[in-house]
Amino acid sequence: MAVPYESLYRKMQLVLQSKLEEFELYEYDAITMEQLWQYCVEKKWRKKVVEELPLHVVVSTIFSITPSELLNHVQIKELQFNDGIIDLNAEDLEALLGPKKKE
């Protein structure tokens, strides 16, 4: 898997590993270093020039991530890649996502 901003990624290996160890303390051990990095790039820094971020901002961002926000991101990405598995028609989507109807 190609890692975006590989040079910065290599510099942040210890920080990423530390965050993963924190996740493991809370029994979130299925998260990989690449998923954590990808989350930062796609969500936390999506509107920023990553190469120009100061190192302290990169480190702070990584340490501020909660397991729930990362897992939500990973689950959404998995659903997007597996969109053929969930086959909902317009009525089903309306029932799931539409406003509640008063009875």
Band of the pLDDT at 24, cuts 50, 70, 90? very high
Residue 79 in domain: yes
The pLDDT score that the predictor gives to residue 75 is 85
Residue 30 in domain: yes
Residue 11 in domain: yes
The pLDDT score that the predictor gives to residue 100 is 64
Which residue blocks in the chain are alpha helix, DSSP H?
A: 6-11, 13-25, 33-39, 55-64, 67-81, 90-97
pTM: 0.74
Residue 56 in domain: yes
State the total domains in the chain: 1
Q: pLDDT of 35-94, one tens digit each?
A: 999 999 999 999 999 999 999 999 999 999 999 999 888 888 887 776 655 566 777 767
Residue 1 in domain: no
**Rg from Cα positions in the chain:** 17
Domain, as residue range, for 35: 6-97
